[in-house]
Structure 1
Amino acid sequence: MIQTPTSNASAAGDQADIAAQEFLAFTLGKEEYGVHILKVQEIRGYETVTRIANAPEFIKGVVNLRGIIVPIVDMRIKFNLGTPTYDQFTVVIILNIGGRVVGIVVDSVSDVITLSPEQIKPAPEMGTALNTDHLIGLGTIDQRMLILVDIDKLMSSAEMGLIDSISA
């Protein structure tokens, strides 16, 4: 059987698709962050949450999303970025993390950005002063810099266990 050039071209195209990654860009304060688009389930306006007693401060509470109780994490509090303010731009990004649905509160969402491997730089080593395990790296596009968050690592197993106990 003769192999056609098109099958080689499609294999090369698949490689290019794997190499480029899409991130949802959002802001917290003056910084721009990105989370892998495949983790995003939906984006919603911020609404009042039901507070859970004895939950850590960064867990704002829970909301009922079409019959699913979803824990809501305020990223400003989680990243220690000052007192959060909620306005018409504040949104909740609903994520699917390891089969669990979790919402994160961010200041605003801007767009979906496609980054090639050359545009993603490793996170700088900060020594013991700052834990950068939850960062994929820094994405650069023209004059923009996106802090790329590995949401699975950020929502560490200890925290996810806590979230499980709240929503169970």
Structure 2
Amino acid sequence: MTTFHDFKATSIDGSEVDLASYAGSVVLVVNTASKCGFTPQYAGLQRLHDSYADQGFAVLGFPCDQFGHQEPGDEAEIQEFCEQNYGVTFPMFSKIDVNGPDAHPLFDWLKSERSGKLGGAIKWNFTKFLVGRDGSVVSRYGSTTKPGKLRPDIERALAG
């Protein structure tokens, strides 16, 4: 059975990350964008990361420019924007596609595990997937779900 830990992704600095390195952790995977109405969610995502990192939790940000060209910058610009405007310290990855023929395999898998209102497709920026310690998808949340609303689910996943 495929799990989150079977994938690799390129970090925002260009190095390859084996997601098996998150085995035993609870992870929130988010497709992000710097020029979106939901961009202020970076602050809430950072608060979640700060609150639960010592319990084995991580937020992973995956910039995506597929929705309204709201992530036009390159990796260096994205990283600088996130750090300067929202104090982001959680891991960020290289810009990817989340839908279509060039979608990152991780997002194809996440969508197959938890479909949303549009079936498997991701509707917009800041769609979130909560992944349990075992690498299975616990839940999916739409763009309008604010990060703070995920605390009870994160706490259950950390306890489980």
- TM value normalised by structure 2: 0.26
Larger RCO (alpha carbons 8 Å, 6+ apart):
2
Say which one has the larger Rg.
1
- TM value normalised by structure 1: 0.25
Q: Which of the pair is proportionally richer in strand? A: 1
Q: Which of the pair is proportionally richer in helix? A: 2
